[in-house]
Amino acid sequence: MCHRLFYLHPHLVNMRPPESFYWSFSLCLGLGLLCVLFVSCWSGVWLGGFAWDGSDLQFNWHPVFMVSGLVVLYGISAVVYRVPSTWGQRKSTWKLVHGGLMLLALLLSVLGLYAVFDFHRAASIPHLYSLHSWVGLCTVGLFAFQWVLGLASFLLPCSPLWFRSRLKPVHIWLGTMVLILSLTSCISGINEKLIFSLDGSTKESYNSLPLEAKFANFLGILIVVFGMVLLRILSKEEWRRPETDESAYVSWFKP
């Protein structure tokens, strides 16, 4: 039988988890869930549902994947390090959780891009002509670069410690920029889709503010508030995971 023992850094032993963090984190999770529910309802009800056949219904996957992956899952992944109950656990474990959630968010984002590009191809619609598409593609590209850089720098054991310490501020800054660009892309995408959909011919015009417009506009507000709460969590220094040497965690096995 094997027993694994862990010795915690003294700073972590005496650390009291701030209750205010959990209020903010719970609000963040709740807002994220509402964002996913609202975008799914908008696409599934007002936009007609889902399919994967090159039709308009295939496009409807695009906002669902982008909001769920590029905004909500990305945002939650960015703050998992901040959860105080994880501070006394191995940082390497939470690096894997962080990286895994980010990878899932990236895959959803790529699926969202594929859905809209394939729809445009099937409908003979030009690609990448709008500002929304430019910002969105740059966001996913920067996200992919950030993930690969993080994998090579912080997860692979061959990366030297001095390189990690110098890259960390850049990694944090890039991550924040991806979040801001994600919020910008999704809000502009919602607005663009409403302009195309509520054209006054098949549906009421956007400027008459029908129920669909109010619902989708409120989705945009939810995304903005979700981003504000996330940025608040990321900006609080006292909610940052304490810096400790991974060697402060010692384990051994006994037969």
The whole-angstrom separation of Cα 233 and Cα 250 is 30
At a CB cut-off of 8 Å and minimum separation 6, what does 79 contact?
25, 28, 230, 233, 234
Domain boundaries, the chain: 24-236
Q: How far is CA 77 from the centre of its chain?
A: 6
Structure tokens at 182: 């994600």
Q: How confident is the model at residue 248 (pLDDT cuts 50, 70, 90)?
A: very low
For the CA atoms of 43, 38, 180, 156, what is the dihedral angle to 10 degrees?
-80
Residue 204: what pLDDT? 92
pLDDT in tens, 107-161: 999 999 999 999 999 999 999 999 999 999 999 999 999 999 999 998 888 888 8
What is the value of pTM for the model shown? 0.88
- Please name the fold of domain 24-236: Four Helix Bundle (Hemerythrin (Met), subunit A) (1.20.120)
Of 212, 52, 195, 189, nearest to 132 by C-alpha is 189
Residue 174 pLDDT greater than 60, yes or no:
yes
Task: Calculate mean pLDDT across residues 84-98.
Answer: 87
Mean pLDDT of the chain: 88
Residue 108 vs residues 69, 114, 249: alpha-carbon distances, Å: 5, 10, 35
